[in-house]
């Protein structure tokens, strides 16, 4: 099947997954063998050892590449494994520009693992393109590392403008597309060089596996990454690859529902007196709403808000929610809520959290596929009891 001739909805179900010609199976097999026989020492087959490659993983990687419109896809054991492997491409003394409002795990890898080993990290607000210009002018830069929408404040970065500026200075652009997915945001069409995913989240969508991915259209980068993937060995199991392939089949319909319900909840929450500030790119009140409409095909299933009353109010609401489970992660069929300052972004220094606005009153919601009416009732009860 030529991926260019198919819609994203069709690719999610069929990319790299033809009917098995031997058995007629319509679903890809889970091949669990750790090693593969060859007829002669000088006659290798496509598969030799499962760390290097595996039929189920190969199917997944080809499917992921088709979804993002990439030439190459590489699967990893977690999103952090993908981040760590990509950073192994850099040498001590090289420079990386990144926005500080990243996923807390990425910040931890950069600041506490890579920086002590000699990687120079320049933290810049990438929503401010003039600040990016100034940072790029300071000297050679290997990567500009970005998330959009950001986690957890859902700020947006203009990917086309950022990519043009980075490329003029010889830097590659790395985008974590976990929040948006290829359904809502097409990074390679906007100039991005490397796309990351925590496939644990929306791509899988069922909160039952851990995984990560790197996608690229650059043959040379892909060759280096493939070497590192094999050498470092942070690869997913065949069963996790199968679970992810299964989850991807419903990605498009799930994202449509996530977006619909999140927008309705955001509109309702914005009018609540208990809410001090609401963060959702789909609302006209969002400062980058125009960019969201231009850059994205939908506004996502994540909502963040700041409650009046700080930690006391947040703790009360979190303790009263029933359908929104208090848990880290996001993107599953079930709705989740978390307190970023104490959970997902606990690794950030207190002064950085304060500067970014990740304070004690901030709550982040991952809106699932439950009934809008039931989710609203859950929030209304928790907020109403807090204010009573």
Helix axes 129-136, 159-168, angle to 10 degrees: 10
Q: Is 45 assigned a catalytic role? A: no
Whole-angstrom distance, CA of residue 99 vs CA of residue 337: 24
- Of 6, 51, 264, 297, which is the active-site residue? 51
Q: Catalytic site residue 176? A: yes
Distance set, CA 177 to CA 35, 103, 343 (Å): 33, 12, 21
- Alpha-carbon span 213 to 196, nearest angstrom: 6
Task: Return the DSSP state at 114.
Answer: I
Q: List, as one string, the DSSP characters of 311-349.
A: HHHHHHHHHH-SSSEE-S---SSS-EEE-TTTTTTTTS-
Half-sphere exposure of 162 (CA within 13 A, CB side): 33
Nearest to 73 by CA among 194, 200, 214: 214
- Per the listing, tokens 């280096």 go with 224
Given the residues 101, 107, 155, 176, select the one marked as catalytic: 176
Q: Is there a contact between 212 and 241 (Cβ–Cβ < 8 Å)?
A: no
* Cβ atoms 329, 201 nearer than 8 A: yes
Alpha carbons 152 and 104: distance in angstroms, whole number: 10
Q: In the beta sheet, which residues pair with residue 304?
A: 279, 364
- Is 201 among the residues known to form the active site? yes
Helices (H) and strands (E) in the chain, counts: 14, 12
What phi and psi values does residue 337 have, to the nearest 5 degrees? -135, 145
Which of 103, 143, 202, 280 is the catalytic position?
103
Pairing of strands 325-326, 336-338: parallel
Q: Is 279 tagged catalytic?
A: no
Query: Active-site residues: which are they?
Result: 51, 103, 176, 201
């Amino acid at each position: 099947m030529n991926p260019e001739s198919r819609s994203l909805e069709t690719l999610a179900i069929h990319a790299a997954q033809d009917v098995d010609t031997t058995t007629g199976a319509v679903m890809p097999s889970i091949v669990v063998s750790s090693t593969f026989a060859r007829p002669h020492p000088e006659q290798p087959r496509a598969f030799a050892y499962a760390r290097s490659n595996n039929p189920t993983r190969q199917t997944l990687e080809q499917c992921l590449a088709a979804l993002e419109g990439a030439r190459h896809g590489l699967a990893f054991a977690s999103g952090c494994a993908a981040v760590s492997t990509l950073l192994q491409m850099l040498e001590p003394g090289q420079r990386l520009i990144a926005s500080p409002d990243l996923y807390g795990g990425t910040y931890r890898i950069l600041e506490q693992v890579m920086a002590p080993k000699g990687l120079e990290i320049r933290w810049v607000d990438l929503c401010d393109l003039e600040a990016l210009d100034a940072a790029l002018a300071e000297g050679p830069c290997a990567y500009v590392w970005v998330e959009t929408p950001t986690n957890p404040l859902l700020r947006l970065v203009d990917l086309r403008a950022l990519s043009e500026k980075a490329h003029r200075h010889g830097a590659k652009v790395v985008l974590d597309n976990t929040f948006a997915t290829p359904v809502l945001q097409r990074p390679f069409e906007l100039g991005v060089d490397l796309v990351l995913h925590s496939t644990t989240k929306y791509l899988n969508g069922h909160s039952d596996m851990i995984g990560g991915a790197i996608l690229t259209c650059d043959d040379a980068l892909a060759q280096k990454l493939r070497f590192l993937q094999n050498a470092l060995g942070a690869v997913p199991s065949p069963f996790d690859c199968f679970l992810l392939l299964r989850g991807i089949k419903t990605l498009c319909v799930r994202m449509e529902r996530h977006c619909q319900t999140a927008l309705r909840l955001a509109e309702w929450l914005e009018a609540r007196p208990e809410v001090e500030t609401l963060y959702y790119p789909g609302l006209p009140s969002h400062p980058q709403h125009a960019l969201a409409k231009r850059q994205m095909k939908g506004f996502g299933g994540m909502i963040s808000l700041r409650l009046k009353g700080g930690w006391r109010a947040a703790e009360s609401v979190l303790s009263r929610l029933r359908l929104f489970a208090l848990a880290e992660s996001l993107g599953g069929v079930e709705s989740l809520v978390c307190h970023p300052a104490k959970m997902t972004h606990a690794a950030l220094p207190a002064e950085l959290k304060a500067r970014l606005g990740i304070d004690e009153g901030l709550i982040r919601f991952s809106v699932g596929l439950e009934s809008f009416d039931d989710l609203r009732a859950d929030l209304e009860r928790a907020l109403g009891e807090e204010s009573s």
